[in-house]
Structure 1
């Protein structure tokens, strides 16, 4: 069985995001970029499935700018077998929308015929949380979102999901789309020998036109602003004063 793992190039989660002075978007000049953390977890899970003998090949896919090659090389260094880069934009500030990404992924799935697609539940730059669900709808496949545990047995997969009320365990038929959550695993660090080997692993370059997909944006970002600074708290001298203050702000 093949596993397809989409990965996205995003601002590193340790970097403080800055908004451009004109409010037109996020400043990416001289900013460290890395693999979306949720996607890193999905790559790790795919590799673990391969190490367990349940998967024969792990294919990493990225859709975006040419610089996403670095992200794919990271996935290859972690243990993915080969990679596909779909160059959908020349502008690092253009974010390819989930529906366009899902349509391209559907075309790749039709071509590669994987038994499982492992996605991060969302990207930390736009927090859309939509690509996996849209891909499942386009393919007509089963889906399991927010996975914190995955067990594959024959033609089914048992997935434990993180939901508002706690944990939910469901069983889905393969092939399936699974979006992963933070507690599924701890991604490995790529060793230096594996980083060197990754440079020789196949990385195929494509365009959206190769798959007949239009990636023109349907949404227009009108303005980007930083969240307001949190107001300072106050100290109260007694429980009665606390209750009175809470009533003032409508908390009780």
Structure 2
């Protein structure tokens, strides 16, 4: 079984700074693999590694030319993927979810002969929960989200998914798309040997033209992103006396009674 795991390159939010006008400063901010996708990569790797060589794993991402990052793709390859595909095109800068799904679907068709597609629950930047669903729709194949476990028997995928108040068990035929919850598999700590061997694994760099896709127009446009103004806090001071403490307790009790805990 040929498996593709999709991952997204996102800005490292720890390194993002705020400008004086409340806009975000992305200069010198490195790209990293979305944390939710690290969970998906681990789930896919464990599935493939447990198959005694019957399955293979390809890692796939799409984005603008900023994703041309040797460290990031080594990080992915070191986690179990046998090869990595990157679709890089400046037309994908700030692409919205539907455009990204179209690019991923076209890349999967270009790779060919894929039986199972695994996505994370969402991305660390937008967290739209849409990639797996839209991929299934575009490719015309079954898709299931909220997956916490899955196994394969021949061409049949047995899936366990977690709903709000129940656990659901589903069987479906490949090809299929699964979106896995982040707690299904914890990302591994890569060994030095894995990192060294990752540099020797094939990396395929493609453009939208290579995969035969003319990007559809966006459904929306992000005009501006700003940090919200801080909410003013009401500051009340009490004297450090018995009377002040009693007043403090009374006001807290009144607040909890009227506003709720």
Going from structure 1 to structure 2, the CA distance change for 1:228 and 1:40 (only over 3 Å counts) comes to same
Give the secondary structure class of the aligned counterpart of 1:125: coil
Q: Does 1:100 align with 2:99?
A: yes
Tell me: CA distance 1:197–1:243, structure 2 relative to 1, closer, same or farther (3 Å): closer
- 2:82 maps to which residue? 81
SS in 2 for 1:60: strand
In structure 2, what is the equivalent of residue 210 of structure 1?
Answer: 210
Shift of 1:23: 5.6
| Contact 1:136–1:177 (Cα < 8 Å) also in 2 | yes
Contact kept in structure 1, 2:22 and 2:227, CA below 8 Å = no
Which residue in the other structure is 1:39 paired with? 37
Structure 1: how far apart are the matches of 2:136 and 2:207? 22
3-state SS of the aligned residue for 2:162? strand
Q: Which moved more, 1:136-145 or 1:166-175?
A: 166-175
Question: Contact 1:144 / 1:172 at 8 angstroms: preserved in 2?
Answer: no
Which whole-Å deviations, capped at 9, do the CAs of 1:190-223 have from their partners, x for residues lacking one? 2122112111111011101222323354421122
Q: Distance in 1 between matches of 2:43 and 2:258?
A: 49
CA distance in 2, matches of 1:90, 1:139: 22
Runs of 4+ in 1 over 4 A off after TM superposition: 19-24, 230-236
Kindly indicate whether residue 4 of structure 2 is the aligned counterpart of residue 4 of structure 1.
yes
Query: What residue ranges of structure 1 are gaps of 5+ in the alignment?
Result: none
Which whole-Å CA distance do the structure 2 matches of 1:176 and 1:201 have between them? 26
CA contact (8 A) 2:47 2:151 kept: no
- C-alpha distance in 2 between matches for 1:17 and 1:46: 30
Partner deviation per Cα, 1:37-83 (whole Å, 9 max, x = no partner): 11111111121112111752111111113342432221111120001
Equivalent residue, structure 1, for 2:26: 28
Q: Would you say the 8 A contact 1:4–1:59 is kept in 2? A: yes
2:254 pairs with 228, 241, 247, which one? 241
CA root-mean-square deviation: 2.7
C-alpha change, 1:23 and 1:229, in structure 2 (3 Å) is closer
* Greater Cα radius of gyration, structure 1 or 2: 2
1:18 deviates by: 3.7
Shift of 1:177: 0.3
Asked whether the 8 Å contact 1:88–1:96 carries over to 2, the reply is: no
CA shift in 2, pair 1:181/1:17, >3 Å: farther
Indicate the residue corresponding to 2:223 in structure 1. Answer: 222
Q: Counterparts of 1:125-204 in structure 2 under 5 Å?
A: 125-204=125-204
If the length of structure 2 is used for normalisation, what is the TM-score?
Answer: 0.81
